[in-house]
């Protein structure tokens, strides 16, 4: 009770700080015509344990926000910083203030990279970083996410109202976006992880043991098959690139003319170049609705097509090391699978534990499908 009162008080304070800052700067950011300063309104759009999202409306257009504020929260006593009880790809998570600063810098560099140069891509305009409060302010983007576009194509639920026409172009662009981002982002001083084949083999062992401990010995072959694949297809040293960090359909806006805007950057690490690509593909295979319905929401043909488009977009006219990519896709899949099991054990999953166990057959099928694709060199 006391905690929720404290949280509510913190939220009010954050909203006040945001309102004050936008009131001060609206003229500078948006020029004239934003209406009287007194008409700045702040509305909470999302509240999670680790972040609060506020929409800011300016005078003359009360219907559409102009600014989005993301307020990162310090871990509280009731949800302390997570000590991973499962294998992870990234050991040592940045602090809340580091995350906030990194996201703001990331948005700034994406804005430089993608504003006005290529009509296929857009960018979120960063407005301000309030260091003391761990708040970033950015311009509101009116567009649906790629996740929402995909959900509109599902076969089982009418909860996702706007029925998009099947369009594959955004998926192709997502791949192309990643290639541009990787080529244009210098590694700088960032720490690297999983830079060698040995590192990847070691992670396959760790995930393999974790999954077979949790799910039973029928799953003991997974780690071994992953390691064999890695040993067979990866070079000693992996080609590396700066990570977007959370390259997934929910972090991509698709605007008019399929203009693609990627947001929510976490460019903390230098990682194997295939990691972000693997994240995008696995996010589709393990989309909540798909896991929940054990694969009924999207047909195999749809998932295959999405993957092909993303990979082709990334490859452009050049070759793509498809076995290496599949190997990494498998590693990311094990990582997300472990995360799902861990969240269910801690009671933090939107899927109940029983439902997750029932979904296990579906996730296992996905692992087998990726292994088959790797074996076939596709």
Residues that bind ligand ATP (CB under 6 A): 51, 53, 68, 70, 124, 138, 140-141, 145, 246, 250-251, 263-264
d(C-alpha 116, C-alpha 248), whole Å: 23
Minimum CB separation of residue 68 from ligand ATP in Å reads 4
| Residue 79 DSSP label | S
Q: Which residue's CB atom is positioned nearest to Mg ion? A: 264
CB nearer to Mg ion: give 89 or 370. 89
Minimum CB separation of residue 205 from ligand ATP in Å reads 29
Q: Which of the ranges 43-51, 52-60, 151-159, 247-255 carries the binding residues for Mg ion, by CB under 5 A?
A: 247-255
d(C-alpha 173, C-alpha 121), whole Å: 8
| Residue 121 DSSP label | B
- The C-alpha angle 360, 361, 364, rounded to 5 degrees, equals 85
Q: Specify the 3-state DSSP secondary structure of 75.
A: coil
Contact flag: residue 100 with Mg ion (CB under 5 A): no
Give the other-Cβ count within 10 Å of 204's Cβ: 24
CB nearer to ligand ATP: give 104 or 171. 104
Q: Which does 70 bind (CB under 5 to 8 A by kind): ligand ATP, Mg ion, none?
A: ligand ATP
**The tokens 């694709």 sit on which residue?**
373
Minimum CB separation of residue 334 from ligand ATP in Å reads 20
CB nearer to Mg ion: give 2 or 48. 48
Q: How many Cα neighbours within 13 Å face the side chain of 285?
A: 25
d(C-alpha 306, C-alpha 168), whole Å: 7
Minimum CB separation of residue 143 from ligand ATP in Å reads 8
d(C-alpha 224, C-alpha 226), whole Å: 5
CB nearer to Mg ion: give 197 or 244. 244
Minimum CB separation of residue 264 from Mg ion in Å reads 4
Q: Please give the residues from 12 up to 41 whose contact with Mg ion meets the rule CB under 5 A.
A: none
CB nearer to ligand ATP: give 185 or 251. 251
CB nearer to ligand ATP: give 47 or 212. 47
Contact flag: residue 185 with Mg ion (CB under 5 A): no
Residue of 123, 134, 182, 251 interacting with Mg ion (CB under 5 A)? 251
In DSSP terms, which residues pair with 83 in a beta bridge? none
For residues 5-40, b (16+ Cβ closer than 10 Å) or e, as one string? eebeebbeebbebbbebbbeebeebbeeebbeeeeb
Minimum CB separation of residue 144 from Mg ion in Å reads 14
- The C-alpha angle 8, 16, 3, rounded to 5 degrees, equals 15
Contact flag: residue 283 with Mg ion (CB under 5 A): no
For residues 167-201, b (16+ Cβ closer than 10 Å) or e, as one string? ebebbbbbbbbbbbbbeebeeeebeebbbebebbb
CB nearer to Mg ion: give 134 or 360. 134
Residue of 105, 169, 198, 264 interacting with Mg ion (CB under 5 A)? 264
Point out which residues bind Mg ion (CB under 5 A).
251, 264
């Amino acid at each position: 009770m006391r905690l929720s009162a404290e949280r509510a008080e913190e939220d009010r304070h954050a909203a006040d700080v945001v309102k004050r800052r936008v009131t001060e700067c609206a003229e500078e950011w948006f020029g004239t015509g934003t209406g009287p300063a007194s008409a700045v309104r702040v509305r909470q759009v999302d509240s999670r344990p680790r972040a609060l999202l506020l929409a800011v409306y300016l005078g003359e257009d009360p219907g559409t926000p102009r600014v989005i504020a993301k307020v990162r929260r310090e871990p509280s006593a009731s949800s302390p910083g997570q000590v991973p009880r499962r294998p992870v790809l990234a050991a040592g998570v940045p602090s809340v203030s580091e995350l906030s600063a990194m996201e703001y810098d990331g948005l700034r560099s994406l804005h430089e990279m993608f504003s006005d140069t290529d009509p296929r891509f857009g960018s979120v305009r960063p407005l301000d970083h309030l260091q003391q409060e761990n708040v970033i302010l950015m311009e509101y983007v009116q567009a649906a996410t790629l996740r929402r576009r995909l959900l509109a194509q599902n076969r089982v639920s009418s909860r996702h109202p706007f029925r998009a026409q099947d369009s594959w172009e955004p998926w192709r662009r997502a791949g192309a976006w990643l290639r541009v981002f990787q080529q244009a982002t210098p590694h700088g001083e960032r720490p690297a992880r999983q830079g060698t084949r040995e590192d990847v083999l070691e992670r396959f062992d760790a995930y393999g043991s974790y999954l077979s401990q949790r799910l039973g010995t029928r799953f003991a072959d997974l780690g071994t098959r992953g390691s064999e694949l890695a040993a067979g297809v990866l070079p000693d040293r992996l080609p590396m690139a700066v990570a977007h960090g959370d390259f997934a359909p929910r972090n991509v806006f698709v605007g008019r003319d399929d203009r693609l805007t990627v947001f929510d950057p976490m460019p903390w690490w230098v990682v194997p170049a295939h990691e972000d690509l693997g994240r995008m593909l696995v996010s589709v295979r393990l989309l909540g609705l798909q896991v929940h319905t054990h694969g009924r929401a999207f047909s195999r043909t749809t998932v295959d097509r999405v993957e092909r488009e993303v990979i082709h977009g990334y490859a452009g006219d050049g070759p793509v090391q498809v076995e290496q990519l599949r190997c990494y896709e498998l590693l990311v899949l094990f990582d997300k699978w472990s995360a799902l099991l861990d969240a269910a054990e801690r009671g933090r999953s939107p899927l109940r534990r029983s439902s997750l166990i029932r979904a296990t057959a579906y996730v296992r099928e996905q692992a087998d499908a990726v292994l088959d694709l790797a074996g076939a060199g596709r």
